[in-house]
Structure 1
């Protein structure tokens, strides 16, 4: 019968050896504090040799002693907590090198126990750190609770980030921030791209990048590198959709006749100015009673990029009607009245509420047979792109198109080149007619 090898002699600091399997066992005092034993395996999953196991056992014993002392309510505990706080503040992010990373993992539970001790003893620790120290959920909470961070982004961006943060928390909420890797984020991005859309995946990664940037700016830093860098985001394809003139001529009168005057107002101003619905909800009657409407789109507020569309008769008629309503209606406006008004709820429209009303009217108009079913694929967002195509069809220069809607010149050029001009049947027919004229002049018989 083969005799089992004797365990190494002179083991210390809770290191036990059973048939070649090293394990750290807590002392009675450490066990009373809730510290668990741990099998000592290396980064590849193999049992550690004596040297590595001794180092690991020494590390766990040291952290256990510091945390245990910090649990005391006497002066010695106060000094231990100060030492623990300093150690945690100086603790670098999780290493990426496998051996060093494994060494950290072997004491990770004790480090978390230490953080929990400090949270219980310090009620003025930030709410984000109190709830879950340096996890993805804590990072998101800390970001939205930071007034300086919120001042850097527009209200619309904050709302978008709030929405995307739910996806982030569902995936990474319980994971420590310094353990979230680029490959993990890349996998999440590809999954969102596949299951939802490229546009949503890009927005989610943009929100996550803002969260990680906030974590980098904390003192001490939560992380030293933003793991969203190099994610490989792909450009979302444009919708390639715009309203036809026939659809406008059918939908707007239908809305007026069927209790959706507010939707007709929004659609008309969006179609004839290229403004986004969020900007139309902010426009006052005085803004739209001028020959031209000068405003800074919410999307470009930080850049200060202005839009300056001229206001033609379709817009002017609707503004005049709305002005008459404010003068004869029961609601008295202390300030300059807003243009878009929700008559059903007797309050100004928001971007969300006018979007809901538009979708309701769109479905009703199609159900009534006044518009074809393909109109269900049109959105208020598409009116902005429609305005670009109309300006281009009217031979307006790129520079003036950009000034009209608050686009960058290159953006207007990309929109027209990549998405819209190629879809305009009128442009194609006009080009064909020019080609026919040239061919005839060259003596070519196209009928042959």
Structure 2
């Protein structure tokens, strides 16, 4: 545990708690001692319980009277660890909060969101195992601030912020249910955490061309189809993997999301039409019939997310040998690429949102970070202003 996790009378050495008396306490006869329970090191929560019990002992002692009687400073034993209450460690907190049988409201979240919550919770298990097993009720704001600072050093700002926010949500859920009657203020809220810098990345036309051509050269034509669908629709990876055909109508492609059954309708751009026509011919040759828009043509089954991610990385690495800038391009960047390309094509925010499904606020937030990187947009805007200004002059 980091030394930034302050518990009175307790020092941490390589994550192990030890009673370290102050000079004043040493004069009274106290000696340093490792803090253990049944032969094992105390967790952060147990150490906090011990500290509170020791503080009460100090307040109640009448050492001056004993010193007058004995005439000397007798070594005072370190108090035994207090009887432990029913344990509810941080690990159990997350397990209960993410369990739909215990917390039915978690089912209101999208499966991808719940998976993200679970991944963020594991940050504590991976980077702060002593906190993972510590009593959740023992957390205080100073301790949570220390956790944030430690995670920031170990895992980076974005990971630290994400993990602490999830901890705060889980704690609030438990507090609302009365699980922590002594916890009146959420210790993981209002930690004044630094906001992670935004990820500023979208693909250029050259990058997309090289990426798709590399996929085709590797025989992964369906991956090239997926990349093309991504930038021409602006849809999330999870939705693209589950898209099913729902028809064609007036030059539009109509898809149905696999789990939610939500209908998505987008114009059939020439690039998409070319890719999907070739894909249909491959299916006919393989005698495969499936409602899914894109299949993993290695086995002609719907893509599993982990398999798709591995294949993407293989193709991206191969493409980066030809165009090094592709080393930093993620599949998640395709969605922002769609928004940026549409803006560069002079589309309005409402037009962009009608295609990608973004909210106006989200689309604005994306463009706020990308506009500075696109002088073409500024050039286009000034050109329009000049035309308007000239018209006003002639009136």
TM-score strictly above 0.5? yes
Counterpart of 2:239? 279
Number of equivalent positions: 329
2:110 aligned with 1:154, yes or no? yes
Change (3 A) 1:284 1:39: closer
Change (3 A) 1:422 1:293: farther
Q: How many angstroms does 1:224 deviate by? A: 4.2
Q: How many angstroms does 1:318 deviate by? A: 2.2
Change (3 A) 1:21 1:247: closer
Mapped to 2, the partners of 1:306 and 1:178 lie a distance apart of 45
2:95 aligned with 1:136, yes or no? no
Counterpart of 1:325? 282
2:43 aligned with 1:43, yes or no? no
Query: What are the superposed Cα offsets for residues 167-193 of structure 1, whole Å, 9 maximum, x if unpaired?
Result: 223521222111111222222223333
Contact 2:88 2:136 in 1 (8 A): yes
Counterpart of 1:182? 141
> Unaligned regions of 5+ residues in structure 2, if any?
1-26, 31-49, 66-78, 391-395
Query: After superposition, where does 1:19-58 map in structure 2 within 5 Å?
Result: 43=55, 48-50=60-62
Counterpart pick for 1:257 among 217, 221, 228: 217
Q: How many angstroms does 1:225 deviate by? A: 3.5
Mapped to 2, the partners of 1:433 and 1:40 lie a distance apart of 70
Change (3 A) 1:108 1:144: farther
Query: After superposition, where does 1:7-406 map in structure 2 within 5 Å?
Result: 43=55, 48-50=60-62, 109-112=82-85, 115=86, 133-147=87-101, 148-170=104-126, 171=128, 172-218=131-177, 220-221=179-180, 223-286=183-246, 291-293=252-254, 309-331=266-288, 333=290, 336=291, 338-367=292-321, 369=322, 372-406=323-357
Contact 2:233 2:355 in 1 (8 A): yes
Greater fraction strand: 2
Q: Please state whether the residue corresponding to 2:267 is helix, strand or coil.
A: coil
Query: What are the superposed Cα offsets for residues 100-126 of structure 1, whole Å, 9 maximum, x if unpaired?
Result: xxxxxx7973243xx4xxxxxxxxxxx
Mapped to 1, the partners of 2:341 and 2:370 lie a distance apart of 10
Greater relative CO (CA pairs within 8 A, separation 6+): 2
Mapped to 2, the partners of 1:379 and 1:330 lie a distance apart of 33
Mapped to 2, the partners of 1:400 and 1:326 lie a distance apart of 34
Q: How many angstroms does 1:330 deviate by? A: 4.8
Query: What are the superposed Cα offsets for residues 245-296 of structure 1, whole Å, 9 maximum, x if unpaired?
Result: 1222232123223212122011101111111111100101336787144667
* Range 276-285 or range 212-221, more displaced: 212-221
Q: How many angstroms does 1:439 deviate by? A: 12
Mapped to 2, the partners of 1:366 and 1:265 lie a distance apart of 19
Contact 1:278 1:350 in 2 (8 A): no
2:390 aligned with 1:424, yes or no? no
Mapped to 1, the partners of 2:268 and 2:29 lie a distance apart of 81
Counterpart of 2:362? 411
Query: What are the superposed Cα offsets for residues 395-430 of structure 1, whole Å, 9 maximum, x if unpaired?
Result: 2111221222121212212222x2112211323454
Q: Please state whether the residue corresponding to 2:252 is helix, strand or coil.
A: coil
Q: Please state whether the residue corresponding to 1:286 is helix, strand or coil.
A: strand
Counterpart of 1:87? none
